[in-house]
Amino acid sequence: MKLFIKKPIQQLLAATVESEKTLKRTLGVGSLIALGIGAIIGAGLFVRTAAAAGEHAGPAVTISFIIAASGCALAGLCYAEFASMIPIAGSAYTYSYATMGEFIAWIIGWDLVLEYALGAATVSIGWSQYFNEFLNTFFHVHIPFSLCHSPFESSITTTGMYAAEYGAHGLINLPAIFIILMLTLLLIRGTAESAVVNNIIVVVKVAIVLLIIGLGWKYINPANHTPYMIPADAGSVKVSTGVVNYADTFNHGWLGVLRGASVVFFAFIGFDAVSTAAQEAKNPQKDMPKGILISLVICTALYILFSHVLTGLASYKDFLIQGKEASVTYAITNFMPGYGWLASLVTVAILAGFSSVILVMLMGQTRVFYTMSTDGLIPPIFSKLHPKHRTPYKSQWLFFVFVSLFSGFIPDRIVGDMVSIGTLFAFVLVCLGIFILRRTDPDIIRPFKTPWYMVVCPLGAVVCLCMIASEGWENWARLIVWLLIGFVIYFGYSIKRSHVRRGVVDAANNPPNPKYVE
C-alpha cells in the first residue's frame, strides 16, 4: 500500500485547461486582492482581536499580530510559489499531493475543513451578535438571548440589551444560520457575481477601519496600555462560558502574547483562501502571487494600527464582560463621545464585512472538496457542477448543513480555536512542501520563486509550530479526534477509489495493480 503516492505535476497542470466541465475563469488581479482582503478583514479584526486581548495578551495583542503576521508572511511566500506553479483549485491539499503524497494530501484536505467550514461558522456567530446590535441601534428591538446563542452559553451581563435576560441560556443561533443560507444561495449563483458583491463590501469595510483608526487615535487612554502585557496577578474574569484566570500559563506575559498570536492568527487565514480560486483566475501565474502577498501586507498594517487603538480605548477586561463579540461598537459608544454615528456605521459595515468573509470561506471549502472529489478521494457529489452556473452547487448545500450545525450550536471561542490550529497545521505542510519540491524537482517552471527558500521555508514552519504549541490541550484533542475521523474515511473509502492510485505504475515497471484498474 503506497500511502505517499504523488500526483504528477503534469497531470495537475493538464487540469488547468478551461472547458465546460471545469470551473470558469473570471477573476482578475484586482478581484483576487479584494478576495484576500475580503476574507482577511472580518471576525479576526472585529471579534478575535478583543478575545485575544481580553483573555491572553492585553494591549500587547499588537505584538501578537506581528508574530502571527510573520508566520503568515513566510507561509504566504510559499503559497505564492505554489499558486503560480500549480494554478488550480485545492490550495494546500493540491500542493501536498504533488510534493508529499496522497496520504499527506488527504490529511491536509481534511484539515482544511477546520479552516474554511469552521471559519465560516465562527464568523457567522460574530455576524449574529452584530446583527443584534444593528436591530437594537436602528429599530430598538433585539432577538432573545436563547435564539442567538448556543446551548453552551448563558447571559451574564446586567446592562445593555440583555439586562432583563440575566441567567438565560442559549438554544440555537438562528441569525448565524440565516446568513450562511443567504451566502450559499449567492455562491450557487456564480463566482463572478459573488466577486462583485465582495469588491463592494471590501471598499466599505476598509474605509470603516481607517475611520476608526483615524478618529479613535486621539481618544486613546495611555492608562489602558499600562502594563502592556497582562501580569500574572491580574486576577480572573467571569465570562459566558466559564472563568478566565490570568494566572494560567498562557494568559499572561510573553506566553500570553504567543497564545494571543494563535488566536488572532484566525484573522489572517483569508490570504490562503485566494489560492483556492486559482482555477478561476484569468492569469493565475502572474496574478495569484500578487493577490496573496498584496492582500496580506495591506491587512497586516491595518491590524496593528487597529488593535493599538482598540486596546487604548477600553480596558482589556471590558472586552470579556461588556463588549464580547461586539467590542468595537462598545468601545466607540462608551469611549468616543460624539461618535455614536460611527458606532452605528461600524455595525452596518461589520455586518457587510463579516458577510464577505463567510462568502470567501464557503467558496474556499467547496473548491477544496471539488478538487478532492475529482481525484476520487471523496464522493462525486462534491464535484457536481450546476448545469448553468458551473458552480459546485450540491457541495455548497451539503456544507450549508454542516456549517450550520456548528454556527447554530457551538460557541464562537471553541469553533475559532479549532480554525486556528487547523490552519496553522496546513501552513506548516505548505512550507515543507516548497522545501521538498525545490530539492526533488528543481527544474520545474516557477513563475514566482520563494526568496531564500532554505531559510524562509523552515522558519515559516517553525513559527507556525510555535503558535500551535501554545494551543491548549482541548484544541489538540479536537484536532486529533478530527484527524482520526478522517483516517477512517481515507482507509475505508478514499484509498480504494483514488484516481491516481488506480492507474499507477511503480518504479520497478510492475503492471498496474488490478485492484485499482477500472
Residue 186 pLDDT grade (very low, low, confident, very high; cuts 50, 70, 90): confident
In this predicted structure, what is the pLDDT of residue 401? 95
**For 199-216, what is each residue's pLDDT tens digit?**
777 778 788 889 999 999
Question: What's the confidence (pLDDT) of residue 87?
Answer: 66
- The model's pTM is 0.74
Q: How confident is the model at residue 227 (pLDDT cuts 50, 70, 90)?
A: very high
Confidence of residue 505 (pLDDT cuts 50, 70, 90): very low
The answer on pLDDT for 518 being more than 50 is: no
pLDDT per residue as tens digits for the range 400-409: 999 999 999 9
Tens digit of pLDDT for each residue in 264-277?
887 777 666 666 66
Distance CA 61, CA 108 (A): 29
Specify which residues 239 forms β-bridges with: 242
Q: Which residues contact 330 (CB under 8 A, 6 or more apart)?
A: 314, 318, 322, 323
How do 236-239 and 242-245 pair as beta strands? antiparallel
Secondary structure in 3-state letters for 152-206: CCECCCCCHHHHHHCCCECCCEHHHHHHHHHHHHHHHHCHHHHHHHHHHHHHHHH
SS (HEC) of 343-360? HHHHHHHHHHHHHHHHHH
In terms of phi and psi (left: phi > 0; alpha: psi -120 to 50; beta: otherwise), the region of 242 is left
The residues facing 169 across adjacent strands are 154
* Side-chain-side CA neighbours of residue 192 (13 Å): 8
Residue 316 phi/psi, 5-degree rounding, is -60, -30
How far is 327 from 507, CA to CA, in rounded Å?
59
Chain-wide mean pLDDT for the chain?
82
Residue 503 has pLDDT above 70, yes or no: no
The contacts found for 168-172 with CB under 8 angstroms, 24 or more apart, are 168/144, 169/145, 170/145, 170/146, 171/146, 171/147, 172/146, 172/147, 172/408, 172/409
Separation of alpha carbons 99 and 240, rounded Å: 45
pLDDT at position 473 is 78
- Whether residue 332 contacts residue 242, with contact meaning beta carbons closer than 8 Å, is answered with no
Q: In whole angstroms, give the CA distance from residue 129 to residue 147.
A: 11
Cα dist from 166 to 54, 155, 157, 158, 323, whole Å:
22, 5, 6, 6, 16
- Per-residue confidence band for 1, with pLDDT thresholds at 50, 70 and 90: low
Q: Which of 268, 292, 261, 265 is nearest to 278 (CA)?
A: 292
Question: Closest by alpha carbon to 45, among 259, 408, 301?
Answer: 301
User: What is the secondary structure of 215-267 as a DSSP string?
Assistant: HHGGG--GGGGSSSS--TTS-EEEETTEEEETTSGGGSHHHHHHHHHHHHGGG
- 505 conformational bin, left if phi > 0, alpha if psi -120 to 50, beta if neither: beta
Burial class (CB in 10 A: 0-12, 13-18, 19+), 18: exposed
pLDDT confidence bin for 516, thresholds 50/70/90: very low
Half-sphere exposure of 306 (CA within 13 A, CB side): 28
First-residue to last-residue Cα distance in the chain = 18
User: Residue 397's pLDDT is what?
Assistant: 93
Domains along the chain with CATH numbers: 26-516 (1.20.1740.10)
Measured between alpha carbons, how far is 238 from 221 in angstroms, rounded to an integer? 24
User: For residues 42 and 303, is the Cβ–Cβ distance under 8 A?
Assistant: no
pLDDT of residue 202: 75
How high is the pLDDT of residue 409? 92
Residue 148, strand partner residues: 173
Nearest to 125 by CA among 324, 364, 330: 324
What share of residues in the chain are helix, strand, coil (percent, to 5)? 75, 5, 25
User: What pLDDT score was predicted for residue 39?
Assistant: 66
Structural contact between residues 106 and 494, judged by C-beta atoms closer than 8 angstroms: yes
Q: What's residue 4's pLDDT? A: 82
For residue range 461-488, list pLDDT tens digits in order.
Answer: 998 898 888 777 777 888 889 899 999 9
Nearest to 42 by CA among 175, 262, 204: 204
